[in-house]
């Protein structure tokens, strides 16, 4: 039995009858950029996240970049973030002209450690960019206090965390900007690239909407320099339909995580500590964009799972401070030991909502077999 890491075709089969007419309608109107589909998606996302406003953009990466641009962050500024994340988090900071400054993570949530973050703030720091990695929120109360005390903008990278909650509030609604990605493999994915910024501030959303369209307010009059960071109507229409099912999908992912916990509880590799399961910190709703275990001899386990046709992946094998393209930032191995250890141990297993009982059992058996045969 082949168990994929993610199978979007199963999801599409349940949505085809809704998505196809919505796509056809956009073709009939030939209104592909902006318009009512984008506005409806912005309202629905803002409401879902518990924020007042939404601004559709071209990707999660651009959501981060446009938020930085809206704060006039650039040359000479520092933005504090985690080194254990997808490249785009720090890549967008560099593209804004600012310098990413890293602080180490909490080993349980894999998110920015508030104390490490506080120690890394300097007089040049302009913003905090926490990431809610794998679908579990960062410690937003202490991070929010730090931002407030030091007068920093808060830009949440919520690209993996749509619907995640911390103390009853949704990811993306804590900061000045909440950034989301509609890349197809995210929990709320479009039919291509897309993204959204949510914010509680009317002046900010006006600025974001101007920046995504070349800094234009009145047609062909430009007061600021923006770019083309617009969301397509087709993506917006697909995302708006899928958003209605997101709660049920998040619930199915959580149930899958519980099923894994039950299945692993009886295995020798779990009892010996060779495999450690993901933990949800108190007062959080984890939406499991990924289900990430820590595993002894991780690379050998991954190779074996792939041979056995069990989908798995490492998010992320190289922390950002050790990426060749960031060498000029001057970081070295050993600077962020918690992140480096995580990068060596983590392995994501299939958790998509449609995963069956048999498939989950097959995954756990394959992991168990590796440690048994290799003992």
Binding mask 75-104 for ligand PLP (x = CB under 6 A): ----------xx-xx---------------
Active site residue 341: no
Size of the site for ligand PLP (CB under 6 A): 15
The smaller minimum CB distance to ligand PLP, of residues 80 and 364, is found at 80
User: Using CB under 6 A, which of 54, 56, 60, 137 touches ligand PLP?
Assistant: 60
Q: Extract the tokens encoding 188.
A: 């709320």
Number of helices (H), then strands (E), belonging to the chain: the values are 13, 13
| Residue 194 C-beta: closest distance to ligand PLP, Å | 7
By CB under 6 A, is residue 159 in contact with ligand PLP?
Answer: yes
| Residue 305 C-beta: closest distance to ligand PLP, Å | 22
Burial class (CB in 10 A: 0-12, 13-18, 19+), 142: middle
Burial class (CB in 10 A: 0-12, 13-18, 19+), 345: middle
Q: In angstroms, how far apart are the furthest CA atoms of the chain?
A: 69
The C-alpha atoms of residue 187 and residue 136 are separated, in whole angstroms, by 13
| Residue 178 C-beta: closest distance to ligand PLP, Å | 12
Tokens 């002894």, residue located: 296
Q: Which stretch binds ligand PLP (CB under 6 A): 42-50, 55-63, 108-116, 268-276?
A: 55-63
| Residue 370 C-beta: closest distance to ligand PLP, Å | 28
Give the count of beta carbons closer than 10 Å to the beta carbon of residue 25. 13
| Residue 134 C-beta: closest distance to ligand PLP, Å | 9
Of these residues, 186, 209, 242, 341, which one is catalytic? 186
Collapsed DSSP state (helix, strand, coil) of residue 73 = coil
Q: Which stretch binds ligand PLP (CB under 6 A): 75-83, 153-161, 209-217, 341-349?
A: 153-161
Site for ligand PLP in 170-189 (CB under 6 A): 181, 183
By CB under 6 A, is residue 195 in contact with ligand PLP?
Answer: yes
Q: Extract the tokens encoding 210.
A: 């101007």
By CB under 6 A, is residue 67 in contact with ligand PLP?
Answer: no
By CB under 6 A, is residue 229 in contact with ligand PLP?
Answer: no
Give the count of beta carbons closer than 10 Å to the beta carbon of residue 185. 13
User: Using CB under 6 A, which of 55, 93, 131, 257 touches ligand PLP?
Assistant: 131
Residues comprising the chain, all counted: 375
The C-alpha atoms of residue 41 and residue 233 are separated, in whole angstroms, by 9
What does the DSSP 8-state code read for residue 105? B
User: Minimal CA–CA distance to 133: which of 314, 286, 272, 361?
Assistant: 286
| Residue 149 C-beta: closest distance to ligand PLP, Å | 26
By CB under 6 A, is residue 111 in contact with ligand PLP?
Answer: no
Give the count of beta carbons closer than 10 Å to the beta carbon of residue 251. 13
Positions that interact with ligand PLP (CB under 6 A): 59-61, 85-86, 88-89, 131, 157, 159-160, 181, 183, 193, 195
Which residues belong to the active site?
A: 186
């Amino acid at each position: 039995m082949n168990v994929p890491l993610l199978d979007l075709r199963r999801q599409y089969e349940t949505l085809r009858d809704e998505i196809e007419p919505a796509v056809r309608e956009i073709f009939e109107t030939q209104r592909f950029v902006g318009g009512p589909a984008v506005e409806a998606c912005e309202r629905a996302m803002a409401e879902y996240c518990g924020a007042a406003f939404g601004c559709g953009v071209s990707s999660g990466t651009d959501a981060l970049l446009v938020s930085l641009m809206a704060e006039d962050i650039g040359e000479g500024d520092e933005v504090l973030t985690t080194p254990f994340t997808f490249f785009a988090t720090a890549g967008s900071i560099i593209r804004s002209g600012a310098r990413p400054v890293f602080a180490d993570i909490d080993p349980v949530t894999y998110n920015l450690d508030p104390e490490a973050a506080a120690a890394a703030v300097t007089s040049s720091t302009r913003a905090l960019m926490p990431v809610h990695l794998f679908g579990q929120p960062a410690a937003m109360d202490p991070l929010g206090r730090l931002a407030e005390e030091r007068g920093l903008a808060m830009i949440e990278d919520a690209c993996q965390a749509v619907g995640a909650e911390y103390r009853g509030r949704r990811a993306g609604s804590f900061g000045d900007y909440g950034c989301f990605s509609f890349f197809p493999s995210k929990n709320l994915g479009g039919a291509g690239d897309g993204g959204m910024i949510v914010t509680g501030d009317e002046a900010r959303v006006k600025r974001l909407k101007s920046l995504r369209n070349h800094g234009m307010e009145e047609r062909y009059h430009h007061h600021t320099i923006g770019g083309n960071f617009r969301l397509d109507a087709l993506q917006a229409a697909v995302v708006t339909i899928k958003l209605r099912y997101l709660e049920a999908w998040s619930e199915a992912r959580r149930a899958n995580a519980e099923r894994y916990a039950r299945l692993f509880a009886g295995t020798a590799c779990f009892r010996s500590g060779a495999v450690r399961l993901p933990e949800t910190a108190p007062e959080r709703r984890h939406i499991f964009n990924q289900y990430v275990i820590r595993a002894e001899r991780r690379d050998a386990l991954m190779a074996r799972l792939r041979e056995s046709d069990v989908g798995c992946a490492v998010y992320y094998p190289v922390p950002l401070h050790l990426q060749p393209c960031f060498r000029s930032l001057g970081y070295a191995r050993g600077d962020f030991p918690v992140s480096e250890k995580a990068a060596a141990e983590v392995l994501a297993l299939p958790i998509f909502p449609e995963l069956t009982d048999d498939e989950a059992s097959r995954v756990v058996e394959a992991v168990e077999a590796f440690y048994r045969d290799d003992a």
